[in-house]
Chain A
Amino acid sequence: MDYALLAEQFFNGFQLGIILFLVAAGLTLVFGIMDLVNLAHGTLYMFGAFFAATFSMVTGSMFLGMLFALPVTLVAGMLMEWSLLRTLYQRNHLDQVQVTFGLIIFFNELFLIAWGPEGAAIQLPDYLQGTTPLFGDVVVPDYRLVIITSGLLVALGLYFLVSKTRIGMLIRAGASNREMVAALGVNIKMLYTVVFGLGAALAGFAGMIITPITQAESGMGEGILILAFVVIVIGGIGSIRGAFIAAIITGLIDTLGRSFIDVAMLAVMDTEGAETAGPAISSMLIYIIMAVVLAVKPQGLFPPKGA
């Protein structure tokens, strides 16, 4: 057993989990509090990525680029909510799916036209391009450490916001019982716009910090969106704590699965069988887990109280 490899894969899985959490946190709040199925959440991820790429190129600094892109993504998200998604709150989920799916197609094409098929990239500054030894033989790219650290800081900030501030209390109340919050006279419209903006900022942040690694391209939101839905189903809709734990679990299972399933397959079948089954099973693994959770505990592993 190569312990260095195992440790590195744990690290990689954890990093994937952090990105998933950032996307899933916004998604779970929007679904949990506003009962809105927003497929265009992945588009907000894409917004963050492309805006940060363009601003980085213009300012010559990755840090400044991301700093400017964050409020722009936040505003873009709030504009999307105010102009279009607001009309969907009363409608059923299928209508919401259709409209937000249309938004995906529209923005994918728009970004393809605006930035071209080659997409956009963010150059890492030289001091972030190296690697750092963690312990023993384990060596990790510096930038991935940055991703994990900033993601954890955001998670901490979110925890503080949600559990220690008034707006956070309103968010938690809305996740538990939306009707009651409205009945108690809270300005539900403002709450919704704030929640949506928060979700947009989180998704945009995830999009921009992953771009130096994977590049920004049209359609990049879809893959992460699907995984984010899996995460919030496993974690419990409306629960940020659930989103965090489920995201880390999902990231670890997906990465460790991809790393070791083919080796595991070799124990029970021949090389050719393992080579065909391995990639297939590792792609399916996380969905199998989601199905099991749905069967055993349909409200998710950590549903918000009262849900």
Chain B
Amino acid sequence: MHKRLLTLTAAATVAFAANAQAQDTIKVGIVTTLTTPASIIGKQMKAGFEVAAEHLGHKMAGKKLELIFEDDAIKPNIGKQKTEKLIKKDKVDFLAGYIWSHVIAASAPVAFRANKIIVSANAGHAKFSGKGCHKNFFNAAWENSQTPMAMGELLNRKGIKTLYVLSLNYAAGKQMVDGVERTFKGKIVGKDLVPLSHKDWSAELAKVKAANPDGVFVFYPGSWGPAFFTQYAQAGMTKTPLFNVFSIDGANLPIFQSRNMDHLLGMVNTSYWGPDLDNPQNKRFVADFKKKTKQYPAHYAAQAYDALMLINAGVKAAGGNHNDTNKVRAGMEAADFPSLRGNLVFGRNHFPIQNFYAREVVKDANGDWVLSVKETVLKDHAPVNSGECKL
């Protein structure tokens, strides 16, 4: 009798202690890409989250902060599985990360059903800024068509009259093309969306040459970039200017530099952020990121940093009570923290309203290649379908 009472008391104490400890830890589950050659992006995102955690002292509002990383291998079904695992097995309080739009499209509904807040630190699927917006969905990056819309505007400014468009045949790739078509005032003389397995552009480059456009627009992130830019030079096409979104960034610039791809110097792309944006938190972030990884951060890392700081702002606003989803959400909507892009303002659909800049590939003081912000192309820009969001 005593033995049973003792055992039960011990069990209850352990359970209570474990629960109490669980109450004291805030867990953020992060789905990113850690395998396949595209893990070059995932590595940046992971490092961005880790620098943010270090700046927070691994605490949120006094409670211990734990980051759990999972890999999606660029597959929506795996991303969905990992999201489920993070919620059900690891009992995370928040979900964040998600590089790919088709992965987050499959994974977000899982988070919604579990009433968890999910913060995209990259995937800018247009669904979630418009009709598919959700009170628990936040995007700390951008909506897919915004960056190419800025590029279209830049192309107009540069006097480009005819354009050939090259992209990837999946959700984000199509939305990138939509974006540039929205603002570009000239004529699009050709369009090719290649499958994700595509590595040899000989046929497409022959078509581009035949069309003889003023410029070529490309969306080739991650490892598609190096293959495409190499073949572009090999086909003798460097006289036709290349304009890209998300194809040259801090993640793959070191690769381009090590392969002496000099025709990329001076190339311009558009983004809401650049490593030399002039504010104190960005300077600190870039310096600490370089110390940690020996590389410049790309926007992937900057978004991850802002995503974690955003969650922190929400938890702080709720007085540390991270289970009070309504208070946390309100805190996140207010976004009262120093963002790497300056001042972060959210629309009703929880997507940022922000500036977009033109950035050029230049050499820094040490001769390392880096992107530098040159001019503002769009000011206080919101996703075009924001009006469709019923929040």
Contact = CB atoms under 8 A, between A and B. Distances in A.
Interface in A1-42: 2, 4-5, 8-9, 12-13, 15-16
A289 interface: no
Given A12-B202, A143-B234, A217 B193 contact: no
Contacts of B206: 5, 8-9, 12, 259
Contacts of B235: 131, 141
A81 interface: no
A118 B195 CA distance: 20
A124 B234 CA distance: 9
Contacts of A4: 210
Nearest to A220: B199
Question: Chain A interface residue count: which class?
Answer: 35 or more
Given A258-B203, A275-B191, A215 B234 contact: no
A259 B199 contact: no
B199 A223 contact: yes
A176 interface: no
B101 interface: no
Interface string B163-206: 00000010000000000000000000001111101011011101
Contacts of B230: 121, 212-213, 215
A123 to B, nearest CB: 7
A119 B227 CA distance: 11
Q: Which of A143, A215, A220 has the most CB of B within 10 A?
A: A215
Contacts of B36: 112, 117, 218-219
Nearest to B195: A283
Contacts, number: 103
Contacts of A141: 234-236
Contacts of B169: 279
Contact of B223 (A15, A117, A130): A117
A129 interface: yes
A119 B203 contact: no
A217 B223 contact: yes
A255 B259 contact: no
A139 B227 CA distance: 20
B146 interface: no
A214 interface: yes
A124 B36 CA distance: 25
Interface string B94-128: 00000000000000000000000000000000000
Interface stretch (B38-46, B51-59, B379-387): B38-46
Contact of B226 (A12, A144, A215): A215
Contacts of A220: 199
A255 B35 CA distance: 30
Given A112-B35, A131-B236, A118 B40 contact: yes
A128 to B, nearest CB: 9
A144 B202 contact: yes
Given A112-B39, A215-B199, 8 more contacts: A4-B210, A5-B209, A13-B203, A214-B200, A218-B36, A219-B36, A275-B193, A283-B195
25 contacts: A2-B210, A8-B210, A16-B200, A112-B37, A117-B37, A117-B43, A118-B255, A119-B37, A119-B226, A121-B230, A139-B209, A139-B236, A141-B234, A141-B235, A212-B230, A213-B200, A214-B227, A217-B223, A219-B37, A222-B197, A258-B192, A259-B203, A259-B207, A275-B191, A279-B195
